[in-house]
Structure 1
Amino acid sequence: MKSRRALIVVDVQNDFCEGGSLAVHGGAAVADAVTRLLPEYSTIVATRDYHIDPGAHFSDHPDFVDSWPPHCVAHTDGAGFHPSLNTERFAAIFDKGAYSAAYSGFEGATHDGVGLADWLRAHEISTVDVVGLATDYCVAATALDAVRAGFDTRVLLNFTAAISPATWSAAHDALRAAGVRFDGDLLYTGSTTE
């Protein structure tokens, strides 16, 4: 049986793009690039940070490692997808982090409570390509959990942007050690907030 592939678009949201509260340099360019990529896939899903009260994940004095400025608060413009991102072909959206940090899309669920791994299996997906923001945090966490869940996993680096070279280097090593494959070169590295 032919392997069925899906594209997972991770957290391409206003607060993670230029002008947002936790902007990643190149976020808007990632939104544009991902939109151009969508026609290559028949199955596309997206994840979305959707925080209500994530506890210590939010801080007025963030360390930018475990704590961050408030971002992607549920029902705000910051939590919305970037306007350059075409969302019409998303088969499902997985909200994550209501009451926790939740870096991985596999911690999210649809509005009716279906988790990402269960959704992919129900649609007979065996291979996933992961794109979005930020490469060294939510993209990496999603890709690692995809491998742990048994999916053949690839990160398309041309459709991602990382927060910093140091955190990307550590994430890259962890992903490679886990068996994640890579395609392309990182679009941008460097946060606009640092």
Structure 2
Amino acid sequence: MLTYPADTALIVVDLQPDFMPGGALPCHEGDAIVPGIAALLASGRYATVVATQDWHPADHASFASQHPGRAPFEQITLHGQPQTLWPDHCVAGSPGAALDGRIDWNRANLILRKGSRADVDSYSAFFENHGPDGSRPATGLASWLRERGITAVHVCGLARDYCVLWTAQDAAAAGFQVSFLWDLTRPVSPEGDAPTRAALDAAGIGIVEGSNE
């Protein structure tokens, strides 16, 4: 089985119960990718593994419950940018915010919690969404990876059309070579797949079909 060079890292995005069927914000077939990702980590093919974890306060600005008269999946403007309103999900310390228990997370070198600021959403592992001052604050992940000599990243997890996509785009913009492990991602809705592929193509990001290529 292929082992990747030491300069290649795996980023597993938001593999949490709230994004699985039955969770607060279920992705389409979100649980289907768990066995493949569990096997990938267990194989030891990556010397560096990063896991991200959505970790929101209960009054997070992206929650529809914080906007009277608004419903989940409606669009508003937040800090001058489009914002999708979500069902309350991945509230810090809740069972739905835990990392999926079917995976050995001891294989991860870093667990990065994101979305912990009440007034700013955070899809990407590299940058939060736009804040009140119009900027996208860095999470520090790019510097951490560079300090470890990482030049390439492979991304997988949930959701394909939001957090995994934004993570891949930001990684490419930061100068990393990016591979998008398509079969180890799932979308909020399959309707997002065509726009996701178009966005990846526009960013020059390679799509890997097949979970263990």
Aligned-pair identity in percent equals 41
- Identify the residue that residue 159 of structure 1 maps to in structure 2: 184
> RMSD value over aligned CA atoms?
1.9
Aligned residue number for residue 6 of structure 1: 9
Q: Which structure is larger by alpha-carbon Rg, 1 or 2?
A: 2
Structure 2 match to 1:168: 193
Consecutive aligned runs of 4 or more in structure 1 exceeding 6 Å deviation = none
1:84-108 Cα shifts (integer Å, max 9, x gaps) = 1221111001111112210101137
Residue 105 of structure 1 pairs with residue 115 of structure 2: no
Cross-structure match for 2:39: 36
> Shift of the alpha carbon at 1:4?
0.8
Partner letter of residue 62 of structure 1?
A: P
Whichever residue aligns with residue 22 of structure 1, its letter is L
Asked whether the equivalents of residues 127 and 170 of structure 2 are also in contact (C-alpha less than 8 Å), the reply is no
Matched-pair contact (CA < 8 Å) for 2:6–2:46:
no
Q: Residue in 1 aligned with 2:60? A: 54
Displacement of 1:185 = 5.5
Secondary structure of 2:92's aligned partner: coil
Give the deviation of 1:13 after TM superposition. Answer: 0.5
Query: Structure 2: how far apart are the matches of 1:84 and 1:43?
Result: 20
Q: Residue type of the partner of 1:162?
A: P
Question: Unaligned regions of 5+ residues in structure 2, if any?
Answer: 66-70, 76-83, 129-137
Residue in structure 2 matched with residue 68 of structure 1 by the alignment? 86
In the alignment, is the contact (CA less than 8 A) between 1:140 and 1:175 conserved in 2?
A: yes
SS at match of 2:122: coil
Code of the aligned partner of 1:141: W
TM-score w.r.t. length of structure 1: 0.86
Gaps of 5+ in 1: 187-194
Distance 1:116 1:12 in 2: 18
Q: Give the TM-score of the pair, scaled to structure 2.
A: 0.79
* Alpha-carbon distance, 1:64 to partner: 5.6
Partner residue of 1:135 out of 135, 145, 160:
160
Contact kept in structure 2, 1:12 and 1:85, CA below 8 Å: no
Native 8 Å contact 2:15 2:158 kept in 1: yes
Determine if the alignment matches structure 1 residue 82 to structure 2 residue 92: no
